[in-house]
Structures are given as structure tokens and as C-alpha cells.
Copies of this chain bind each other. A is one copy, B any other.
Amino acid sequence: MLRRGGGPPRILVTNDDGVHSPGLRLLYEAVRDLGRVYVLAPETPKSASGLGITLHKPLRISKIKLWNDVTVYMTNGTPSDVIYLALEELSPRIDLVLSGVNIGDNTSIQVILSSGTIGAAAQAALLGILGIAFSANVGDASELEEDTETWENIKRVIRSVVKWVLENGVPEEADILSVNFPRRVTPETKAQIVPAARTKFLQKVSIIYDPRGNKYYWLYGTLVDPEPGTDVYTVHKEKAIALTPLSLDLNLHGTRWQNAVAKLQPLAKSIEEALVAGSETG
């Protein structure tokens, strides 16, 4: 069992698309009766905020009522800030952080590393709190809202993931679990456990001129052809649900670490020599 203290599990629901995203409501509705559920999310979209935390300006929290009288807290901070603010202001103990449902899938390491949705789950994991991120391959929020079959099925999947995790935890090998939904989720949709691809987009820059003739730039990505057996392939080609356990450990291990150390040893030596030589030549 995941529950670490007494009483019902304490679940924090957040996202990076902001409190007004239907994805946040979908996530809340899926788990509302599975524990003591708190909702705290950014007031405006913070997509591509990664694990960024806000150190340079004061943060505020305000309280609004949404979705038929549910109390929702919102902040001017990032999804990662949310974790710290929630522990300070809502509950000193949180058992599970659920982030999403993101509008747009978070497949591939390229996307994962800059995703605020995954960022919130990752910040939780760094504090020893289990984090699960949910993301859907839809182009915009209305696509999700208008496809009621997919909406209800995603809700069923989230419930079943959260109930299972509250009972069984996640494998201790993983820091976070990322769940990506295909564009449509039907009774026939399959679920697969797959690693993250390295890249998903060929990132591009569009050059545009404003009415005064000044150049500006807009970043966008075009999908690369995905490799079979990866999260991108599962979601985009097989139209299945991808379950991806992720580690936050960026270190090399075993022989890979030993090889890297052996190769870098001469660099460490040349650095020390440069410092000594510098003092001699003045």
C-alpha cells in the first residue's frame, strides 16, 4: 500500500496547462473519490516549463470554485512550484501527485525533459512522493472535450491506474510513471509498457516579418518517423496507451561510468596542469 500515514491517501492533482484546462477537470473527476484530493495548478498555461522553479519573484495562491463547486487552488508559479506550495499550504503529507491530463502527449525524452506535466511528477519524486503524469495525444482541449467516448475511457484508465498504484505502488526501479493516451481511446485500446524514444520532433524555426518589416521567429516541431517499441510509436502508430516508467538518474553506471572516468582522467590532469602553469607564467 502506498498510504504512509493514517486516513485516506492524500492526492495532489495538478497540471501545466492551467486550472482552466479540461484535462485538469478530467483528471480530478477520475480520482475525486479515491482519497483526500487537493487541486492546485498554475493559473495560466506553463507548457514547456520543465522542472523550472520560481526563485526570482513572489508566488501567490488564490482559491476559486470550478466544476460544480469544487475548490481549486491556483498559483502564478510553475507546476514544480506547485509541489512545494501544496506541501506548505494544503497538506504537509502528500502520498501521490497526479499531473495532467496534458493536452498533447509527452512522449520521447526530448519532450519529457521540457514538459511541465512530467516536471511536476519529477519534483514530487525528488521529494520521495510518487508522481504519475498523464498526457493525451490531442491537438487542443476541445478535441478532448468533444470526444465523449475517449473522455470517459481516459477517465476509466486513470481510475484503474491510480487504484492499482495505491494498492501496489510503482516498481522501485522507477521514479515516475508516465501514461500517454492515443488520440482515441476505445474498449479495444491496448496498453503497453514501453521505453521513451530519444526524440519526437525535428524542431524547426519559422521566420515571419511583422507589419513594420521586423523579423521574428516561431518555434515548432515536425514529427520524426518513430522507432517501433518506443512510446512515440505506441501512441502515434499503434494508437495504444503507453506506460513508461522513468528514472531521474542522469548518471552513468557500471562499465559505462568506468569507461567515461578512464577517458576523462587525462582531462582532469590537464586542468590541474593548466592551473599550475598559469601561476608560473603569472
Instruction: Identify the stretch in A21-29, A134-142, A194-202 within 8 Å (CB) of chain B at 4 or more residues.
Output: A194-202
Instruction: Identify the stretch in A31-39, A93-101, A152-160 within 8 Å (CB) of chain B at 4 or more residues.
Output: A152-160
Instruction: Identify the stretch in A7-15, A64-72, A261-269 within 8 Å (CB) of chain B at 4 or more residues.
Output: A261-269
CA distance A246 to B47 in the complex (A): 25
Q: Which of B49, B217, B252 is close to A85, meaning CB atoms less than 8 Å apart? A: B217
Is B252 a contact of A174 with CB atoms below 8 Å?
Answer: yes
Report if A59-B268 is in contact (Cβ < 8 Å); known contacts: A52-B49, A53-B114, A248-B109.
no
Q: Could you tell me the distance in whole angstroms from the C-beta of A88 to the nearest C-beta in chain B?
A: 4
Residues of chain B lying within 8 A (CB to CB) of residue A261: 193
Report if A216-B58 is in contact (Cβ < 8 Å); known contacts: A109-B250, A250-B246.
yes
Is A219 a contact of B84 with CB atoms below 8 Å?
Answer: yes
Report if A59-B114 is in contact (Cβ < 8 Å); known contacts: A84-B203, A249-B109.
no
CA distance A264 to B171 in the complex (A): 7
Is A243 a contact of B268 with CB atoms below 8 Å?
Answer: yes
CA distance A33 to B273 in the complex (A): 21
Interface string of A111-149 (1 = CB under 8 A from B): 011100001001000110000000000000000000000
Residues of chain B lying within 8 A (CB to CB) of residue A87: 205
Is A171 a contact of B260 with CB atoms below 8 Å?
Answer: yes
Q: Which of B59, B205, B251 is close to A246, meaning CB atoms less than 8 Å apart? A: B251
Report if A199-B60 is in contact (Cβ < 8 Å); known contacts: A114-B53, A248-B113.
no
| A189 located at the interface, meaning its Cβ lies under 8 Å from any Cβ of chain B in the complex | yes
Q: Given A157-B275, A193-B265, 4 more contacts at CB 8 Å? A: A153-B275, A161-B267, A241-B271, A243-B267
Residues of A whose CB lies within 8 Å of any CB of B are 45, 47-56, 58-61, 77, 80-81, 84-85, 87-89, 109-110, 112-114, 119, 122, 126-127, 152-153, 156-157, 159-161, 164-165, 168, 170-171, 173-174, 177, 185-193, 195-196, 198-199, 203-205, 207-208, 214-220, 241, 243-252, 256-257, 259-261, 263-276, 278-279
14 A-B Cβ contacts within 8 A? A59-B218, A60-B215, A85-B217, A109-B250, A109-B251, A126-B198, A156-B274, A164-B266, A190-B272, A191-B269, A193-B265, A198-B248, A247-B252, A248-B250
